[in-house]
């Protein structure tokens, strides 16, 4: 029989307290340094909020257009609950994998998947390395897509403001102007040092959101609710699913954030960072989407800031601040991508081993340029949001955590009960339907836009 992953809490604590063969004085120094750089609950909540709220927040109007007023209001909390549940499954799998590995203290998303398969049923162990590579690929594509979409969001808002103030330049040139400030994230290699930037991003986004909704309310009486769709179906519902999943884009940060906390156990407790932050995020999403769709209806844009009257000075300020908020969110999304890409580059490149700082900065520069180039050819912000959400975010948020849960429980007698089995199958079915329909419809719409 293989090594089981199902262990009790006392066993988990006992294994985590086993000696690792390191010098006790050195371990104490290392732990002191780590505690000094550890994040507080508030900082962790700030990172999670910013990691889950970006361009997707301002796409909620388009999300409600595709899902309907009542349909979206009912489905968004369901998606949020599914996301939180799957994030808990991911944390559970990571803790079990760490407990089974002598000397290990933390595994991120790809390593968790690898170790769960490595300690799982014997026929699946040969897939451990492949599964890790698959997760790394999805994470890189997802974070790369987020970064490219951020460029598009910033550019579209700045372009409108410049055009209104007599600065007649192309959108491509506006995007080029935003490239130089985006080089700043290439110097930020520690999550702790991104906290001030992340806090600025949150403040700017919240100001932009509150100001946008205030303008929406001040434009006169809201249209009658009868003029809006309550429910939708078919292709529109597929686009809703993709946009909603894109908006809950923070699963890649769950394990790094939990590990970076001074008190990791408070991350996923009942009233911990994860539950409280996700409840707050979902409430903001529903309110923003409902108001935006009510105000602008079928004309609501991929970013609600684009619906503001560009001739109004206040609207121009809101567009600039919203763009600034998304720009400040770029470092934390870029951080996740580089955390995956840099280790294999350093391991397999002699120059990277000899000049690690120089080579890491060079790699970061190259990746920023690549996200910039992809952003240049994006035809529609809302369609690419739906595509990334349907294809990559759904796989990472739902499919992989459910697979981990199946793998870890099948090693234990009666570990996979009827309720757990049915629950996992339901989530997996919803996820696969979302991937297939959302990806297909997004690709069809993108091709139509190119034509």
Q: What is the pLDDT of residues 26-39, one digit of tens each?
A: 434 344 434 445 78
Answer with the residue of higher pLDDT: 284 or 148.
Answer: 284
Token pair 């403001």 in the structure block, residue: 161
Token output for 20: 């690792």
How far is Cα of residue 380 from the mean position of the Cα atoms in its chain? 20
What is the residue whose two structure tokens read 């992989």?
400
Give the residue, 367 or 387, on which the prediction is more confident: 367
pLDDT band at residue 200 under the 50/70/90 scheme? confident
- As a whole number, the mean pLDDT across the chain is 82
pLDDT of residue 359 exceeding 50, the answer is yes
Look at residue 182 in the predicted model and tell me its pLDDT. 75
Q: Are 346 and 353 in contact (CB under 8 A)?
A: yes
What CA–CA distance (Å, rounded) separates 395 from 397? 6
As a whole number, mean pLDDT of residues 283-298 equals 94
- What phi, psi does 332 have (nearest 5°)? -75, -35
| Helices (H), ranges, 248-298 | 254-260, 273-296
Q: What are the tens digits of pLDDT across the range 405-415?
A: 999 988 777 77
| Helix pair 69-100, 109-118: axis angle to 10 deg | 60
Surface-to-core class of residue 117, CB atoms within 10 Å of its CB (0-12 exposed, 13-18 middle, 19+ buried): buried
pLDDT band at 327 (very low <50, low <70, confident <90, very high): confident
In degrees, to the nearest 5, what angle opens at C-alpha 51 toward C-alphas 50 and 55? 75
Instruction: Give dist(CA 145, CA 158) in Å, integer.
Output: 20
Top mean pLDDT of 22-31, 297-306, 370-379 is at 297-306
Q: Could you please report the per-residue DSSP string of 172-225? A: HHHHHHHHTGGGGGGG---GGGGHHHHHHHHHHHHHHHHHHHHHHHHTSSPPPG
pLDDT in tens, 224-251: 999 999 999 877 888 898 888 877 767 7
- Residues β-bridged to residue 89: none
| Range of lowest pLDDT (34-43, 277-286, 306-315) | 34-43
Given pLDDT bands bounded at 50, 70 and 90, which one contains residue 15? very low
Domain segments of the chain as ranges: 39-173+190-329+379-450
User: 269-278, 343-352, 376-385: which has the minimum mean pLDDT?
Assistant: 376-385
**Cα 449 to Cα 313: distance, rounded to the nearest angstrom:** 31
Cβ neighbour number for residue 190 with a 10 Å cutoff: 10
pLDDT computed for residue 234 by the predictor: 79
133, with CB counted inside 10 A (0-12, 13-18, 19+), is: middle
Lowest model confidence (mean pLDDT) among 20-34, 164-178, 309-323, 325-339: 20-34
Task: Please give the structure tokens belonging to residue 106.
Answer: 């933390």
Q: Is the dihedral of CA 370, 373, 378, 382 positive or negative?
A: positive
For residue 125, pLDDT over 70 is answered with: yes
Q: Please, what sign has the CA dihedral across residues 415, 419, 422, 425?
A: negative
Q: Which two tokens stand for residue 215?
A: 């303008």
- The CATH class of the 39-173+190-329+379-450 domain is mainly alpha
pTM (two decimals): 0.79
How much is the pLDDT for 399? 93
| pLDDT, mean of residues 91-114 | 91
* H or E stretch covering 172: helix 171-179
Share of the chain above pLDDT 70, in %: 87
In angstroms, rounded to a whole number, what is the distance separating the alpha carbons of residues 51 and 260? 15
Please write the tens of the pLDDT for every residue from 440-449: 888 888 788 7
Kindly state the tokens that stand for 241: 């699913």
Residue carrying structure tokens 């912000």: 381
CA–CA separation, 431 and 303 (whole Å): 25
Q: Tokens at residue 435, please?
A: 């991937």
Is residue 191 within 8 Å of residue 164, measured between CB atoms? no
| Average confidence (pLDDT) over 140-168 | 86
3-state secondary structure 328-370: HHHHHHHHHHHHHHHHHHHHHCHHHHHCHHHHHHHHHHHHHHH
**Of the ranges 66-75, 211-220, 364-373, 427-436, which is most confident?**
66-75
pLDDT score at 277: 93
| 25 pLDDT tier (thresholds 50, 70, 90) | very low
- pLDDT bracket for residue 398 (50, 70, 90): very high
* pLDDT higher than 60, residue 294: yes
Among the residue ranges 126-140, 255-269, 404-418, the one predicted with the least confidence is 404-418
């Amino acid at each position: 029989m293989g090594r089981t992953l199902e262990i009790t809490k006392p066993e988990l604590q006992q294994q985590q307290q086993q000696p690792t063969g390191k010098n006790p004085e050195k371990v104490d120094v290392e732990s002191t340094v780590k505690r000094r750089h550890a994040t507080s609950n508030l900082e962790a909540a700030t990172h999670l909020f910013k990691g889950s709220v970006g361009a997707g927040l301002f796409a909620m109007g388009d999300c409600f257009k595709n899902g309907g007023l009542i349909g979206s209001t009912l489905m968004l909390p369901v998606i949020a609950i599914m996301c939180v549940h799957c994030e808990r499954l991911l944390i559970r799998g990571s803790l079990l994998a760490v407990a089974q590995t002598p000397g290990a203290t933390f595994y991120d998303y790809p390593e968790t998947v690898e170790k769960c398969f490595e300690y799982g049923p014997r026929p699946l162990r040969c897939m451990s390395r492949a599964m890790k590579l698959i997760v790394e690929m999805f994470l890189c594509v997802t974070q790369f897509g987020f970064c490219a979409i951020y460029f598009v969001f910033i550019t579209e808002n700045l372009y409108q403001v410049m055009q209104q103030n007599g600065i007649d330049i192309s959108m491509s040139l506006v995007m080029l102007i935003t490239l130089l400030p985006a080089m700043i994230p290439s110097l930020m290699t520690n999550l702790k040092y991104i906290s001030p930037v992340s806090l600025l991003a949150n403040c700017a986004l919240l100001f932009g959101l509150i100001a946008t909704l205030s303008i929406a309310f001040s434009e006169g009486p809201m249209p009658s609710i009868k003029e809006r769709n309550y429910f939708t179906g078919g292709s529109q519902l597929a686009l809703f699913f993709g946009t909603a999943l894109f908006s809950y884009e923070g699963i890649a940060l769950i394990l790094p954030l939990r590990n970076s906390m001074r008190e990791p156990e408070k991350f996923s407790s009942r009233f911990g960072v994860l539950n409280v932050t996700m409840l707050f995020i979902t409430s903001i999403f529903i309110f923003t989407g409902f108001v935006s769709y009510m105000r602008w209806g079928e004309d609501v844009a991929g970013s609600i800031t684009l619906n503001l009257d560009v001739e109004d000075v206040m609207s121009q300020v809101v567009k600039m601040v919203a763009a600034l908020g998304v720009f400040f969110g770029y470092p934390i999304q870029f951080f996740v991508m580089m955390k995956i890409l840099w280790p294999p580059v350093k391991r397999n490149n002699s120059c990277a081993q000899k000049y690690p700082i120089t080579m890491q900065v060079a790699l970061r520069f190259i990746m920023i340029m690549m996200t910039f180039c992809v952003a240049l050819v994006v035809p529609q912000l809302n369609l690419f949001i739906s595509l990334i959400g349907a294809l990559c975010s759904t796989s990472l948020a739902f499919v992989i955590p459910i697979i981990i849960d199946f793998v870890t429980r099948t090693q234990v007698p009666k570990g996979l009960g009827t309720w757990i089995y049915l629950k996992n199958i339901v989530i997996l079915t919803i996820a696969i339907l979302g991937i297939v329909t959302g990806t297909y419809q997004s690709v069809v719409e993108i091709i139509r836009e190119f034509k």
